[in-house]
Structures are given as C-alpha cells and as structure tokens.
C-alpha cells in the first residue's frame, strides 16, 4: 500500500483528525501547522509528532517534497488561497467547507486540480454523518421509492463565544454547503439554478460588516436531470433556536424527517398515517477496523469546542472523510467530493445569496464539469 505523509493545517477542530490519520494503515507520517507555537508543542507531546513536521507558517508546507497531502481546516477566508497553493505545488488536497467564498475562486480551484492531476476533496461532514448515510442507503436501495422533495436546514447561533470575529454578520447562504449538499447527493445530481429570499433583519452592527441585511436566507434549487426541487434554509444570527443541521426527504414509498430536538430521534413515515421514531445506527461497520471507533462521540478529544457543542459531534463523519480522501489517493481516483462537485455545492450557496440580494432573481449556477 502507498504510504502517505499528510500535514493538517489549523488546530481548531483540525486536531481531531490527528489520531485518525495516525491509525490509518496508508499513513507514513502526520504533521501539523498552526501559528501558535505553544499549541504545536502541546500536540507534539500528546501525539508523539516529529519535530520536522511541525509548522507555524503555512507557506512552508507546500514546499516540502516529503509531504504528499495537505488537509486544510482553517478559517473560511483562507480556504481558496491555501488550496490553490497546495494544488499548485502538486499536493493532494483536502479542505473543510466551503471550497471558497467566490465563484471565481471555485473555478480557479477546479482548474488547478485538473492541472495538478492530484486528489482534491471538500471535507463536507454533512455527507458522512450517520443520519445522512442512513437516508442515502434508503434512497440507493429503493426503500424511499421515487424521491419527490427534499429540504435542508442549518440554523445556529454564531454569537456564542468561540467563533472567530469574521463570522459576525456572515451572510447565511454564503457558506451553505451543510444545508445544500445532502439534498443534492441524495438525488445524485447537482444544482442548476436558484431562487432565494432573505427574511428578517440583522442588527445594524452585524448587517454592515458584509453589507448583507438578512437574518435568514431560504433558497429553492432546480436540479440537473431531475423533477425534484430542493429547499434549504440557513441562519446564523438574531434567530433563537437550538442548533439544527438537518435534511428531510420525501418519497413515494417512505419518507425521513430529521428530529426537531437533538437526541429526540428521527421519524420514518412508511405509508398512510404510519410514523415511527428511529435511532439511526452507527456507521462504524462501513470503515476499516483501525479507525472505525472514531465514529463515537466519546472519541472527540475536545467536546467543549463550539463546533462540537453545536454540531453534535459532526455525526461521526471524521473517519469517513479520512478514509475516502486516503482511498482516493491510494487507488488513483477522484474523491467522492471532487473539485467540480465541491464547486457546485459551494456555488449553489454563493448564488443563493446573490439571488437574495437581488430580490429573489433566478441565478444559474455554473457547471464546473464542462
């Protein structure tokens, strides 16, 4: 098996990936990059990391010939430039969501990936949660019947302590992939066009930061080669609700609805007025044995990190992301969330925000596969 040296960049929830990579049989060495030297030293001791793979300056990472892959887990504004630097240096590249903040940067990353002929993967946790993988299995085995409608939401309070300053006033759909990508993946398609409406108003201080006034943005998407319409809603500030990152799917034989409250249990509808609550099974059996246990919530190293407090542990998705990224490298294939797919998922949200800012004008979403 090909042995891979990977460097993880960003030690917020990025540090959760260190032990997963270390346990994977395809990994030769794991390095980390963060600007905080104290954090580097603490993680070096905790995970027995090699000194020569500790970085405080990201620009040094792509220059290293012995680094095969870079996994970027940094603030959103840094994603595009770091991804481009990695791909342009000939490194396999994984990046947390979103791919970028503009259509132009998404297009540049798609082009760079093709030129580099390396693996790119957007590490979208929503596509690997136990809840989504359960619904995807229902769809792929025909248990849902013909899908008629899908709906997603991502609602959270980013005024909580722990979020970076740049999040304040961030337009909801500008980073909409958690709400959008499951709707597209379960229909095995891409978004073609969007109409989005803004609702409510942010406080003046928040609204002026991005010149974006809306507290909530709700979009409807037409899908490629499909008669299904997808609906997604996102809010980040000035809306009171428990965190919810959800998808609902309605079929001719069965429907699935996300729980209203965390740990309340989801609902299956299977005909007439029948409804039953279910505990979605864990997905450890889908993983190689060495990393299967990382699907469990108790394996989260820092459960008090705001991303996990609000995201319920990301649904056990982290080992799935690592397994798919490394498998694509070893097998010499594109990842399941390759650049052209990630660009569609990301630009669906970017175009949705553009639509909201233009009174619900229909916006065509670029086709990055051409």
Per domain, the residue ranges of the chain are 4-125+322-337, 126-288+347-364
Which whole-number Å values give the CA distances from 355 to 80, 160, 197, 237, in the listed order? 23, 28, 7, 20
At residue 304, the pLDDT reads: 59
Percent of the chain with pLDDT strictly greater than 70: 95
Contact 190, 147 (CB under 8 A): no
pLDDT in tens, 242-256: 999 999 999 999 999
Does this chain's domain 4-125+322-337 share its CATH topology with 126-288+347-364? no
For residue range 195-233, what is the model confidence (pLDDT) as tens digits?
Answer: 999 999 999 999 999 999 999 999 999 999 999 999 999
Position 297 scores a pLDDT of 63
pLDDT of 306 reads 54
Long-range pairs for 112-115 at CB < 8 Å and ≥24 separation? Answer: 112/83, 112/84, 112/87, 112/88, 113/87, 113/338, 113/339, 114/339, 115/87
For the cut 80, the answer to whether the pLDDT of residue 358 exceeds it is yes
For residue 162, give both structure tokens. 């722990």
Confirm or reject CATH 3.30.360.10 for domain 126-288+347-364, answering yes or no.
yes
Give 268-280 pLDDT, tens digit per residue: 999 999 999 999 9
pLDDT of 274 reads 96
Contacts of 30 (CB under 8 A, 6+ apart): 5, 6, 7, 8, 18, 21, 22, 47, 49, 53
pLDDT tens-digit series, residues 127-175: 999 999 999 999 999 999 999 999 999 999 988 888 889 999 999 999 9
> What is the arithmetic mean of pLDDT over 83-97?
98
Checking DSSP bridges between strand 255-257 and strand 266-269, what pairing results, if any?
antiparallel
Cα dihedral 254/258/263/268 (nearest 10): -10
pLDDT value of residue 262: 86
pLDDT of residue 309: 47
Question: Residue 13's pLDDT band (boundaries 50, 70, 90)?
Answer: confident
Superfamily holding 4-125+322-337: NAD(P)-binding Rossmann-like Domain (3.40.50.720)
Average pLDDT over residues 60-74: 97
pLDDT band at 305 (very low <50, low <70, confident <90, very high): low
Quick one: average pLDDT of 317-329? 97
SS (H, E, C) the chain: CCCEEEEEECCCHHHHHHHHHHHCCCEEEEEEECCCHHHHHHHHHHHCCCHHHEECCHHHCCCCCCCCEEEECCCHHHHHHHHHHHHHCCCEEEEECCCCCCHHHHHHHHHHHHHHCCCEEEECHHHCCHHHHHHHHHHHCCCCCCEEEEEEEEECCCCCCCCCHHHCCCCHHHHCHHHHHHHHHHCCCCEEEEEEEEECCCCHHHHHHHCCCCCEEEEEEEECCCCCEEEEEEECCCCCCCCEEEEEEEECCCEEECCCCCCCCEEEECCCCCCEEECCCCCHHHCCHHHHHHHCHHHCCCCCCHHHHHHHHHHHCHHHHHHHHHHHHHHCCCCCCCHHHHHHHHHHHHHHHHHHHCCCCCEECCCCCC
Q: pTM value?
A: 0.95
């Amino acid at each position: 098996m090909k042995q891979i040296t990977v460097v993880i960049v960003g030690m917020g929830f990025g540090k959760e990936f260190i032990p997963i990579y270390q346990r994977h049989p395809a990994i030769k060495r794991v390095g980390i990059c963060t600007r905080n030297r104290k954090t580097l030293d603490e993680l070096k001791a905790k995970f027995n990391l090699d000194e020569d793979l500790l970085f405080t300056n990201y620009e040094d990472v792509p220059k290293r010939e012995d680094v095969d892959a870079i996994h970027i887990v940094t603030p959103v504004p840094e994603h595009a430039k770091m991804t481009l630097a990695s791909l342009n240096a000939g490194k396999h590249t994984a990046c947390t969501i979103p791919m970028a903040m503009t259509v132009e940067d998404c297009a540049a990353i798609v082009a760079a990936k093709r030129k580099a002929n390396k693996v790119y993967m957007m590490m979208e946790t929503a596509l690997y949660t136990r809840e989504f993988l359960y619904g995807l299995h229902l769809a792929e085995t025909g248990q849902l019947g013909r899908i008629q409608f899908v709906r997603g939401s991502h609602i959270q309070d980013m005024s909580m302590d722990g979020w970076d300053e740049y999040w304040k006033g961030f337009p909801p759909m500008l980073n909409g992939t958690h709400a959008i990508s499951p709707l597209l993946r379960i229909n095995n398609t891409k978004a073609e066009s969007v109409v989005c409406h803004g609702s409510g108003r942010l406080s003046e201080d928040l609204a002026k930061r991005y010149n974006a006034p809306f507290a909530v943005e709700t979009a409807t998407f037409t899908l490629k080669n499909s008669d299904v319409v997808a609906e997604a809603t996102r809010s980040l500030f000035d809306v009171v609700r428990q965190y919810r990152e959800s998808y609902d799917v309605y079929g001719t034989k069965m429907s699935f609805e996300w729980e209203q409250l965390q740990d309340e249990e989801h609902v299956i509808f299977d005909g007439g007025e029948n409804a039953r609550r279910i505990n979605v099974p864990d997905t450890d059996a889908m993983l190689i044995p060495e990393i299967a246990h990382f699907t469990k919530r108790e394996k989260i190293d820092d459960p008090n990190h705001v991303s996990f407090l609000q995201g319920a542990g990301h649904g056990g998705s982290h080992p799935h992301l690592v397994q798919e990224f490394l498998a694509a490298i070893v097998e010499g294939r594109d990842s399941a969330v390759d650049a052209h797919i990630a660009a569609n998922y990301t630009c669906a949200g970017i175009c949705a925000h553009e639509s909201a800012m233009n009174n619900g004008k229909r916006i065509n979403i670029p086709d990055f596969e051409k």
